[in-house]
Amino acid sequence: MAFSRKYLTMVGVLFSWGLSWPLMKIVLQFMSPYMLSLIRFSVGAVFFLLLSRKPLLSSRMLIAALLNGALFVTVVNIAVNLTVNPALASSLVYAQPLFVILISVSLYQEKLHPLQIVGALLAFLGIITAVGSVNFDAGALLAVLAGFIWAVGVLYYKRKMASEDMLGFNASVNFFSALFMVPVVFLLDTNLSVPVEGMLWGLLLALVAQVIGFWLWFMSVRDLGPVTAGTISLLVPVVAYFFTYLLMDKVPTSLQLLGSLLTLSGVFLAQAFNRKPVVVED
């Protein structure tokens, strides 16, 4: 029973973060990617600051918030807004662990297991296939860029912030990211008026992805450990495809599915033989 209960929280993570991808596409019909980022981080900041009551105040925290929060999520929003299928964008963003491993090899001379090399090649073949399936559109390319930004943020966290309390860290990421987004919205958003329906969709997305998803994620990491939870979270794009079809009636092409399958299989293989666990967070 305890075994089942531990994995039940991870099922909740897959449900929440998988659902968030088509929800993003729906919400972006009513507001800009910048406004969506502001709403997501504002809701997340309120919730997690109430829980932690101890935001982290440092220059390192500002950099971590920019990489793991404001910059990453905003690029994801723009990618989803421009791509034909939000689930395809999710599979490209979730190539993040692959970029973490490759950056670690390039900058820190970490050794690769032979099967990690196979996984990396397989994942890159998948990325090219997936991006090519939509004629290398801007949305797909930005999704790959978002995965790379996320990887840089993960490495920064591991090397500079890993000793910090995770709840306080997440509260601070949301808080400072919301502050970052305020001037961005006023400078770049041409229409600050959001209809009531759009605001309700935006709040729903923030609740599902930023609050419920992360809360269940912390429980999963606590109960299962970061390696197991991170590996299972690679199934988020699979769930995203299901919800995208359910909510938007979008059926992926065979090339999109093939590219996503190759990418996620390669990432899984590369992560499975990684000596240092790569924690995957949405």
pLDDT tens for 165-175 read 888 889 999 99
189 conformational bin, left if phi > 0, alpha if psi -120 to 50, beta if neither: beta
Q: What is the pLDDT of residue 164?
A: 83
Distance of CA 123 to the CA centre of its chain: 17
* Cα distance between residue 278 and residue 252, in whole Å: 28
| Helices and strands in the chain: count of H runs, count of E runs | 14, 0
In the chain, the N- to C-terminal Cα span, in Å, equals: 28
Closest to 149 in 3D by CA, of 206, 40, 76: 76
Q: What is the pLDDT of residue 278?
A: 46
The alpha-carbon radius of gyration of the chain (Å, integer) is 18
Q: Are 154 and 47 in contact, with CB atoms under 8 Å apart?
A: no
Residues of the chain with pLDDT under 50: 1, 277-279
* Cα distance between residue 68 and residue 32, in whole Å: 20
- Sequence-distant (6+) residues with CB within 8 A of 199 are 30, 39
Q: Which residue reads 């089942």 in tokens? A: 4
Handedness of CA 19, 167, 99, 177 (dihedral sign): positive
CA distances from 201 to 198, 205, 219 (A): 5, 6, 26
* Cα distance between residue 89 and residue 142, in whole Å: 9
Closest to 122 in 3D by CA, of 271, 261, 262: 262
3-state SS, residue 15: helix
Measured torsion, CA atoms of residues 96, 99, 101, 106, in degrees rounded to the nearest 10: -160
